[in-house]
Amino acid sequence: MNPNNPTVEVLLNHTSIRKFTQEEISDEAVKIIVESAKRGATAGNMMLYSMVKIRSKSTLKSLSESCDDQPFIANAPLALLFVLDHNKWQKYFEISGLPNRIEGFSGPSVSDFVLAMQDATIAAQNAVIAAESMGIGTCYIGDIMEHYETHKALFNLPEYTMPAILVVFGHYEHKPVLKPRFEDEFTVFDEAYPDIDEAFIQKMFQSRDESTEDFAYKFYMRKKNADFFKEMNRSIHKYLSEWTENEKRTD
pLDDT digits (tens, 9 = 90+) for 144-164: 999 999 999 999 999 999 999
What does the pLDDT average to over 198-203?
94
Q: What is the mean pLDDT of residues 233-241?
A: 94
DSSP secondary structure letters along 43-104: GGG---EEEEEE--HHHHHHHHHHTTS-GGGGG-SEEEEEEEE-HHHHHHHHHTTHHHHSTT
What is the band of 250 on the pLDDT scale with cuts at 50, 70, 90?
Answer: very low
pLDDT for residue 150: 97
Q: Is the pLDDT of residue 251 over 60?
A: no
Q: Measured between alpha carbons, how far is 74 from 35 in angstroms, rounded to an integer?
A: 25
What element of type H or E holds 163?
strand 161-170
Rounded percentage of the chain residues whose pLDDT exceeds 70: 98
State the average pLDDT over residues 69-93.
97
Domains of the chain with CATH codes? 6-179+212-244 (3.40.109.10)
Name the pLDDT band for 2 (thresholds 50, 70, 90): low
Give me the mean pLDDT over the 194-206 stretch. 94
- Write down the pLDDT at residue 212: 81
**What's the pLDDT score for residue 1?**
62
Give the pLDDT of residue 4: 85
Calpha distance 79→63 (Å, rounded)? 10
Ramachandran angles phi, psi of 236, nearest 5°:
-65, -40
pLDDT score, position 248: 59
DSSP state at residue 243: H
**Higher local confidence (pLDDT), 207 or 182:** 182
Residue 202 has pLDDT above 70, yes or no: yes
Task: Report residue 56's pLDDT band, with 50, 70 and 90 as the boundaries.
Answer: very high
Query: Are 160 and 85 contacting, i.e. CB atoms less than 8 angstroms apart?
Result: yes
| Residues of the chain above pLDDT 90, percent | 86
Mean residue pLDDT of the chain comes to 94
Residue 249 has pLDDT above 60, yes or no: no
Give the distance, in angstroms, between the CA of residue 186 and the centroid of all CA atoms in the same chain. Answer: 24
- Give the pLDDT score at 244: 83
> Maximum CA pair distance of the chain?
63
